[in-house]
Structures are given as structure tokens and as C-alpha cells.
Structure 1
């Protein structure tokens, strides 16, 4: 009778564990998934026959959770955790090896462990689906915003071109007629401001994809080398070392040479601006089966997490007033998109930012 009662007690513990694990997963906060995994670990600890000495270890993906006294040399039952049919971790339940052996585990306990491993895999799958949906939604929202802003800025750019041309033209005519040196200097300031404004209009038109493209086969490495030479004085001023890595010197793209130069210039110039003195900038061109990857890494302070979704938005800049228009990366994004490529950023190690441009091969 005692044996039957003991067996019934163990089954109740196992069923309670499954119920609690299911409840934890149903109510899981996907932004605090480690807390849910920890709760599952302690549910397992209570479900085993000798719960006073039971210890649990769980690892899945980037998450690792264990009870306080778990040790690698314990005698353990284990079950693999799969996420989308790919092995991503395991869960282990153990007893102290000096007092217990594998025979002290119940057959039903292995079944319970397998079920929990399956549930944990399902939990991680749901989190990944949720994260993927959120990322896709953010990308769509950003694309919509950029499309609307593109239409607005194209209109603004066209409207500004004529008055700016008039200001510049009449200022030049007046300069030829003026004899007073102070007046000439004032007119030169007007012309400089008009030229600066015209450059901003150009950037607006690049962003709106209104500039005509001359797409042709171009070699990438010579363009990268040319841009680096142009920026050599800026690199010297901050004593920055630029390291290049080219997997293939003969890579060819279907691209607009001027726009491709502008992309490289903006990205490397940004890296210089945010790099500390005596820092290192890395420029890598990687050759994959279907794509050409361009990676530009700096050792600056990096992009704060709360600003990660804004870096490609037009008119957004972290530079002081007068030092940036907030159009550089917007223009870069627009050009790369028009070349059927993509651009992403990630954190560098130990600090800084890596921008990765992905161009399709011919």
C-alpha cells in the first residue's frame, strides 16, 4: 500500500510540475524570458523523487539558468532542447554522485523531463516569432515614413532649386560690380551659404531618389581605395589607423559610381567623426556566394539602444548644431536601397559601431 501511495504521490508531483510549467509559459513575459526559465527550473526541482537533493541546469540559446548547488559532476538525467528542429540547448536534473546513481531516477521522470524540454523549445520559438514580427513591423513602419518623407523632400528640393540658383547668380553678378571690399566679402558669404544650401538640396534629392542614376559595371575596390585617399587628411588629424581587408580585389558591382562613392564617403567619414584619437577603423570587403559585404567598424561610443531605430531617419543627427544635417545616413540608406542592397548596424566589440552594407552580386 505504501508503495502504491508513494507512486501516486510522484505522479501528482509530475502532473503538478507540467501544469505549473504550462502556466509559466502561457503567462511568460517575452522581454524577461530568463525569469520564466528560472521558474521552470525550480518547478522541476520540486517534481523529483528526492527533491531535497535535486539540482537542475538549463541552457537554451543565450540563456543559462541553474539551481544554486548544481555541479557538473552530478549524476543526471538530461533532455535536449530543440528550437525550430534545431538543437539549441539541454535541461539536466541531477543528484549528488557520491550518494546516488542513475538507477535512482524513475522512468516517468525522464518522460517528464522530455516534455518540459519540448515546452521550453516551444517557448523560445514563440519568443523568436514575436521578436521577428516586431522587427518586421518596425522595418515596415520605417519604410512607410521614409517613403512619405521622400515624397515631401522631393517636392521641397525642386521648389528650393530655383530661388537658390537666383540667389547665387545675382550675388555673383553683384560681386563683379562691387568695388567696396566689405561688400564683396558679404556677397561671398551669401554665395557660400547658397552653395551650402544647394548641397543640402542635392542630399535631399539623393534621399528622395530624384537624382538620375548612371548604372554600370564598376570595380568596387578602386572606389574604396579612392575614398580612403580622399579622407587621408581627416585620418591624420585624429591620428586614426585605418585597416583594410579585401577578400577579392576584382569584385564588380552594377552601380552608379558617384552614388557609391557618396555611400563610402559618408560611412567612413562618420566612422572618423565618432572615433577617438589614436583609434582604429576597419574597412572589410567580403565576398560571399551571392552577395558582396562591406563592413565599416569604428571604436567610438556606439549607438545608444534607444536611438538604434532612428539612425537612418532623415534630419536625425547626434552631431552638434552646424556640424550635421541629419541627411548623411538617410542618403546612404536611399542609395543602397535603390541599388537593391541593404544596410544594417550592430555593436562593435569592445565598443563602437559596425555598419554592414550588403550588395547583390551580378
Structure 2
């Protein structure tokens, strides 16, 4: 028989266990979920009546965690784990069979184990939801990059045509001169330079199109922005748009993912081009301050209506005609900037148009 004092002590241990398990789950880092599960098993181990001999094993959703002295032929109390109403594994609490029997488990301990398994199932569900969100975000970014690629394909082709024509033209000249004219050496240099230029343009295209994990590094963002604008020259020329690029300092260093920063600039400038009138003006300014770097894109378009300003960063929301916009661009921009711990805002330009401003913290 268990005395009233012993029953009270057991209830205290069980309540303490539930509190600690809840705290672990609330503060869980989903990238280190295995550590959280180990912590939960440790809490369970302490909550049992004979906690010095109790051992715990978890096997669920690809995770197998066992305490150090789990017996070979145990006396077990176990409960199932469900993830989205499907059985995903079990948790076992065991005693060595040479010292204990099934009657040594308390009825309250069975309820405690069931409650903890329910919490573990909820944790694994949230982990799956988080993983799915990351996958969806990557798919959105990839879809958006491919959409941008479609818009700049004409520009890429134009960029390639001139250097490739130089390669072919000077190669033909080289055939007739190489044996008799030292000018051939200079022509050869031109061939090499044009080939290198072509290779770099293609490299940018492939690098931008590929799906890659975020790679943060300290870089000078000025040439990144300049290069992005250079690739959009055909789109700017098509509408005869005047563009101005202002840097507060010759070099502005920031810890960013180069490809994602390029994607942000592409999206915002392409939007500015789309909504700008023919012969309009677009200004891109980069201002370095003590604790942050601000990038502003200013256009002279119709501006953002007050009716849609609260929806502008929503996925799949677009004011462009059907077939001309996916509604992903600004949503992806918002996500990228948020992942860089930055902030994006917009305001009206005077007398007309919009100014988008991105503030990146200096980390």
C-alpha cells in the first residue's frame, strides 16, 4: 500500500514533469528537436515512482532515443504517439524484470505517459508544419526566380549576341592574319575578353536559376545592385526610362545572401519599370548609416492605392492583369528581407509614384 504522503509526492513529480515538458516544447528550436525529445525523456525518467531504476525509450517519426541503461528484457509501460491522427511511434518506460513486476507501475503513471505522448505528438506535428512552410517558401522563391528569368531572357539574349558576334568576327579575321600580321595578337585578346564576358553572363543566369540554401557573407553590395540593374537595361530601354543609381559610399558592406539580395532588387525594380510611364524616372539609392543600410527604389507610377496597401505583401495578390503577374514577387521579397532580419516599407512619392525602402541591420 502507498501512504498518503507517498501519493502526494508522486503527484508532485507528475505535475512537475508535465510543467517541464510543456516548457521544453514552448521553447523548442525546431532545428534541434532531438535535444528537446531527449529533455522530455529525462523529465519522464524523473517522474516515475522508482526513478533510479526507470529507463525510457522513444521511437517515433525517424527519431530513436534511449536512456543509457535501458534493460534487455524489460517490464514496460508504453503509450503510442499520434501525428495528425496517425500512429507515428511509441514511448516506453521500463524497469528491469529481475527487480520489478507490472504491478509496480501506478495507474496515474499510465495517464502521465499518455499525456506526455500527446504533447510529443503535438510537437512533431508542429515540426512537420514548420518543415512544410520552409519547403513552400523555397518553391515560391524558385517560382518567382523563374518568373523573373522569363522577363530578363530577352535582355540576356541581347547581352550575349554582341560578344558572340565579336568572337565569330574576330576569329574569322584571325584565320587570315595569324601567319602574317601581329595585329592577330590584339584580335585574340578581344576574342578572349568577349568569351569571358559571355561566360559571366551565362554564369549569372545559371547561378540565379539554381535553388541554393541561404549563404550569408559579408559583401560589398554596390556591385551586386549595379550588376542587377545592368541585366535589366533592355527593359529600361524598352520604356525609355531614365534610371539613376546613388551610393552614399563607394563601398557599402553588408552580411547578406548575394542571390537573394539580387532577387529583391530584380523584383522591386521590375515592378517599378512595369508601373512607370514611358520616359519616366527610377531612382535606386543606397544609404549607409551607423547601424543599418537603407536601399530605396523610387518610381513615378500611379502609386499604391489605400485600398490595397494592407494586402501588398500577401502571396498571390497582384494588381497586374491575369498572365502578367503571379503575385509572388513582393511576398518573396518580404520573406527574404525578414530572413535577413530586415524591414521593408513603402510610401508615396511626390508628386506621384511609390518609394519602397528596405532597411538591413548591420549584423
Normalising by structure 2, we get a TM-score of 0.49
Normalising by structure 1, we get a TM-score of 0.49
